[in-house]
Every structure is written in structure tokens, then in C-alpha cells.
Amino acid sequence: MSLHQMTHSFRTQLLKITSRLIYIKAVVKRKNSLSGVRYSEEPAIFAWELMNEPRCSSSSSAPALQAWIAEMAAYIKSLDKRHLVTVGLEGFYGLNTTNKSEVNPGIRAASLGSDFIPNSAISNIDFASVHAYPDRWIPHADLEAKTSYLSHWVDSHISDGDIALRKPVLFKEVGSSRHVDEKGVFDRDVLLKTVYDKIYESAKKRRAGAFIWQLLVEGVDGYTDKTTIM
């Protein structure tokens, strides 16, 4: 690479970083048009999520994503010391977390750049975030296999939060297809019950929690991702 190309690449990257920080500051410091309160002081806001399901499958993916999470989390904390910050991970274990590779839904998950434990261990990340989509991740498995996999997935991440991270774990999205067959929604209900029963028991010990993904009111069906509960 020539000096000119290196200079151009550096300036391009610097511009991207600067634009990203300007955008974050504009959001965090924006005034709520209804209450007049800045978002950084808004009690209705629970937490900031850096990105929904971040992936970075380049040759240097894991270090690049790790550095990005650390930089963005620190910047948000410099603007807002009131709210929590999380990453928005799916919960996959990366290539460096080899003792957890069997928890992933297939080999490819480890190469997507995210790594649940080191990504969540960053000091400015307040709680770990996890998703679970057995119908998408292991689509050809039967109900028994999906239930077993999901049970192991939840147990593993709750344990990581308790032992490796010493942080709460929030299962932000748990989805199963709304497809109705001759059994109705029996399969979906079994899978969701498996997850929420475990999370409920953990929540009683202040270890894990969950959001509902997702509830839609009548008239907004076009926004569904086919895993809507109702």
C-alpha cells in the first residue's frame, strides 16, 4: 500500500469514527420532546444497547469487535452515567472460547466475530445480553432436540454471568415460530416454557432476567418477524 493510500485509508476511518461519535452524542443528549428531559437523564430509559446482534466476520473480526465495544461503551458512559449499557449480543462463543464451542448452534457461530464472555466482560458493559432462536439456528431438529439445546444454552449463559462475568444476564429475545400446524402452537409453548421457567428460577436469585419478544397490537402485523407471541 502506498503512502497516499495509507493516508486516505486513515482519514476515511477517522471520519467514520468521528461521525459515529457525533451520532451517539446526538442521541444520548437529545431532549425528549414530550418531557423536555435529556435522554441521558430520562428515567423511562432502561439501558443503552450498542448494536442489535453485532457481527464482524472479517479476518481480524474478534479483536476489531472487542475494541469497538470497549470504545463505544466508554464513550456512552462519558456522556451518561445514569443508565446501564449492554452490547446486544446473540450470545455466541468465539474461536478463543474453545471450552464453550459445543454450546454454539453449529460451527459457523464461532466465526462471526462476537464472543460472549470477553465481549460482556468489558468494564463499561453493565449486563450481558443473550438471544435464542432455536427454529432458525437448528431448523431441522425435532422438538426434543430443540428443547435440550435451548435448556443447555440458557444454563450455560446464566452460569457464565454468575461465575465468569459476575454480571446479570438478560435474555432479550427468545423466539419460536408462530407457524401453526395440526398441533397448534404446542411446540412453541414447550420451548418458551423451557426458557422462562429457568429464567424465573434464576431471577429469584437475582442472576438472570428476560424481556418478552415480542407482543404486537392489532394493526401492526407487518412488523412481525414471525416469532411474535401474540
Q: 56, 113 in Cβ contact below 8 A?
A: yes
Rounded to whole angstroms, how far apart are CA atoms 191 and 196?
Answer: 9
Question: Per-residue pLDDT tens for 146-194?
Answer: 999 999 999 999 999 999 999 999 999 998 876 555 566 788 889 999 9
Q: Which residue has the higher pLDDT, 195 or 225?
A: 195
Rounded to whole angstroms, how far apart are CA atoms 41 and 2?
Answer: 47
Q: Which residues are catalytic?
A: 53, 173
Domain 37-223, CATH = 3.20.20.80
| Domain boundaries defined on the chain | 37-223
The SS3 of residue 49 is strand
Long-range CB contacts for residues 217-225, cutoff 8 Å, separation at least 24: 224/178, 225/175
Q: Which residue has the higher pLDDT, 159 or 57?
A: 159
Tell me what the pLDDT averaged over the chain comes to. Answer: 88
